[in-house]
Amino acid sequence: MSSIINLGLIQTHATEDKADNLRRHIALIREAAKRGAHVVCLQELFLTPYFCKREDTALFDLADPIPGDTTKQLGDLARELGVVIIASMFEKRAIGLYHNTAAIIDADGEYMGKFRKMHIPEDPGFNEKFYFTPGDLGYKVWDTKRGRLGVLVCWDQWYPEAARLTAMSGAQILFYPTAIGWLKSEKAELGKAQHTAWETVQRGHAVANGCYVAAVNRVGVEEETEFWGQSFVANPYGEIVAKASPSDEEILMVPCDIKAMEDFRRIWPFFRDRRIDSYNDLTKRWRDDG
């Protein structure tokens, strides 16, 4: 079996029409498969605009059950094309209980399960605590027909603990469906620094865990937010091996060599040298040594 896993990362815009967004993404998934993708990852909340810019109870109507009709359609598509699909959606778990959730569908069409976003931000223009209950499924890895894949979502990408625990479960590639951008009022002063921080922290996860990292961001302007695109893949050395446009819709095709990941871990054995006996305080909110 080849050690190469071909990724197809789809960065695009979103309209107010969920059905249109689904149709467009199905067409893009087909194109990615035609170009040789083994795993296709969609951006965060791919069925809708990024609706968390304000608090509005009517927007809970955008949520869908997972599994449900959308995952059924994506499952049929995955089976037809022989690709794994990672789809980030707004999940309705129960009346009044909602999550930001990624569904994982195997290359034979099987719905394998879901990851619920663990870390929920609350910032101007990103009012997610109003909409999303923190995830309660833990950090998981799926042994798909195309590789062992770990999935986290957007704000999770800032936390080394989340990346570590997912990698410790055997993930060869960490996927981060994302919706992040600049507020118009901040871009001139902080835009470059914010993007650098976002990219750098994820490259660090790739190095520290000896795996590939794939971040999939959306593009376009939605009200005061300009999504910065630039989806990318970093290899275990933290090198960016491919990056998408900051503004254009794009399918970023990237081959990942799992054998190279194993070679990296043999010469830089970070898991071997971890001092797990000294990490107990990581479960505390803060260390008050004074």
Just list the catalytic residues: 44, 117, 154
E-assigned strand segments in the chain: 4-11, 39-42, 84-94, 97-105, 111-116, 122-123, 126-127, 141-144, 147-151, 173-177, 181-183, 212-216, 219-222, 225-228, 232-234, 240-243, 250-257
Provide φ and ψ at 58, rounded to 5°: -65, -25
Distance (Å, rounded) from C-alpha 59 to C-alpha 62?
A: 6
What are the structure tokens assigned to 253, written together? 């095709």
Partners of residue 219 on adjacent β-strands: 228
What totals of helices (H) and strands (E) does the chain contain, helices first? 5, 17
